[in-house]
Structure 1
Amino acid sequence: MANQNIVQNPISLFKLPTIFKNRANTRTLLTVHLLRELFFIISSPLSLICLILAIALILRQFNFKRLCKACLYSVISLALLTTQPYFADLLLYPLEHEIAYSETLVEFEGTDFIVTPACYYSTVGKVSEISRWSHCSLQRLVQASKLSKELNKPILVTGGNFLHDPDTNYSQKAFDLLLDLGVPRKNLILVAKGIDTASEVESIKSYITKKMLFSLRQLHI
C-alpha cells in the first residue's frame, strides 16, 4: 500500500523539499521583519524615554536612588536633545532617504490627480506672506505646481482649520499660493478638510479609486 501511494503521487514527493525550503525562507523573512520593526519601535526617542522612566521607577522601588536619579537626568537630556530641529532631522534622515524616488515623468503620465498633503502655515505675528510657510509646505507646494504644469494634471489641495488661528483654512492659503506659482485655476481642486494625514486621506476617498501622485517634501512618490 505504501509503495502504491508513492507511485500514485511521485510529483508531490519531489515538491516536498521545495515546500519546506519556501516555508523556512518565509519564516526567516518574517522573523527579520519583526526584529526590524521591534528595533525601530525601541529605538524611537519616545519609546526610549518611556523605557528609561520605567527602569527609574523600578530602581526607586528597590532604593537605588543614585541610579534612579541618573535615569531621570538621562530622560530629561534625551527629551531636550530630540526636540531640537537639527537632531530631529538627523533621526528622520534615514527614513526619508530609504525610498528610491524617481524624477522621470514618463511613468506618471497616466496619473489622474496630484495630492499635496498639508504641512503648516503660521498665523502668528506680522511677517511677510512667504515667511508664514514652513519649509516642508513650500517644498510640497512648489513640487506640486511643477508636476501639475509638466503633466497638466489637477492638484487636490487638502488641509482644514488646524492652524493657530482657527478661522484660517490651510488649503485656502495653499490654493492661493499655487495660483501665484502659475497653476491654472482649472487644475486646482480645493478640499478644505483634514486636520491630520488620516483625515486628509478620508477627505479625498472619493478620488482614491483613481491614480494619484503624492507630492511630499521636494520629492514625489
Structure 2
Amino acid sequence: MLCSQYWFSSWLLAPIEHQHQPYNINSPDLADIEQIFVLAGYYESRSTLPDHTRWPNASYKRNTTALFLHEKLQVPILITGGHFLSDKQVSYSEFSKVFFLDKGVAEEALIAVPHGHNTFTEISAVVEHLNQKRTLIISSATHIPRIELFLESIAPEADYVFFPVEYLSRKQLSFVVNPPALYALRSSQRAIYEYLALTYYTWFMPER
C-alpha cells in the first residue's frame, strides 16, 4: 500500500533523480559539448508492429532527446548496445542507428559501438571515445547515479555533462493520499532496484 502512493514513490526517487542540474536543449551551458552519448534502452526486435511502437518510453525519450540535441549542437552521436535483444543475432545499436538515419542524421555523424549488455559494459566499450571529447550523456534520470559511479571507476579522465530524461518524480514533494496506483508501484520498484544496484556496485565494482 505504501509503495502504491505517489508521494512515497517520489520520496524514494527524488534523491536519485535530482542529483544533477537539469538542462533544456537551448541552454548556453551546452555550447562546448563535442559529442553526445546516448545509452541503450530496449527495442522489440521480433515484433511485427510498426517501428515506432517497438521502442519503450525510456528508449524513445533518450533517442529523441539525442536527435534534438544533435540538430541544435551539430555534434556526433555515440550509440552503444550489443546483442541483448529478443533476437540475439542483432545488436541494439543497429536499430538505434537506423532510428537516427530515418530522422535525417547523416551516417558520418553516428558512431555505433555494437557492444555492451548492461551499463558497465556499455561504458567500458566507449571509454576511449569519452576520454577524447567533452561529452553530453543522455539517459533516464534514475539511471544517472549508476552511470556516474561507473564513470568515476573506469573513465576518471572523461569530461562529461549529464542530460537526464524520463523523470518519474518531482523535486518538490507534497503529501497526498491516493488510491493504490500501479504507476507508483512501478516507480517504487525502480527506485528500490537502483538503490540496491548502487549499494552492490559500491562494494563490488566489476573489473573492466
Secondary structure of residue in 1 paired with 2:104: coil
Corresponding residue to 1:157 among 79, 82, 94: 79
Q: Deviations over 1:173-215 (max 9, x none)?
A: 0000011122222211111111111111111111122210012
C-alpha distance in 2 between matches for 1:156 and 1:189: 5
Contact 1:145 1:182 (C-alpha < 8 Å) held by counterparts: no
C-alpha distance in 1 between matches for 2:135 and 2:19: 21
C-alpha distance in 2 between matches for 1:136 and 1:143: 11
| Number of the residue aligned with 1:92 | 13
Q: 1:89 to 1:183 in 2, by over 3 A?
A: farther
Describe how 1:157-196 pairs up with structure 2 within 5 A: 157-196=79-118
Tell me the number of residue pairs that the alignment of Structure 1 and Structure 2 aligns.
139
| Number of the residue aligned with 1:48 | none
C-alpha distance in 2 between matches for 1:124 and 1:88: 33
Q: Deviations over 1:149-172 (max 9, x none)?
A: 110000001100011110121001
C-alpha distance in 1 between matches for 2:51 and 2:14: 29
Task: Report sequence identity in percent.
Answer: 29
C-alpha distance in 1 between matches for 2:113 and 2:80: 5
Q: Deviations over 1:86-126 (max 9, x none)?
A: x9788435522443212243222222210000011113442
Q: 1:116 to 1:88 in 2, by over 3 A?
A: farther
| Number of the residue aligned with 1:146 | 68
Q: 1:88 to 1:189 in 2, by over 3 A?
A: farther
Q: Aligned pair 1:212/2:155, yes or no?
A: no
Unaligned stretches of 5+ in structure 1?
1-76
Unaligned stretches of 5+ in structure 2?
142-161, 165-208
Which one-letter code corresponds to 1:187 in the other structure? Answer: A
C-alpha distance in 2 between matches for 1:124 and 1:154: 29
Q: 1:110 to 1:170 in 2, by over 3 A?
A: same
Query: Over alpha carbons, which structure has the higher Rg?
Result: 1
Q: 1:93 to 1:126 in 2, by over 3 A?
A: farther
Q: Aligned pair 1:111/2:54, yes or no?
A: no
C-alpha distance in 1 between matches for 2:98 and 2:61: 16
Contact 1:116 1:215 (C-alpha < 8 Å) held by counterparts: yes
Contact 1:148 1:187 (C-alpha < 8 Å) held by counterparts: no
Secondary structure of residue in 2 paired with 1:216: strand
Contact 2:47 2:54 (C-alpha < 8 Å) held by counterparts: no
Task: Give the TM-score normalised by structure 2.
Answer: 0.59
Secondary structure of residue in 2 paired with 1:208: helix
Contact 2:81 2:116 (C-alpha < 8 Å) held by counterparts: yes
Q: 1:192 to 1:90 in 2, by over 3 A?
A: farther
- RCO higher in structure (CA 8 A, sep ≥6): 2
C-alpha distance in 2 between matches for 1:160 and 1:178: 17
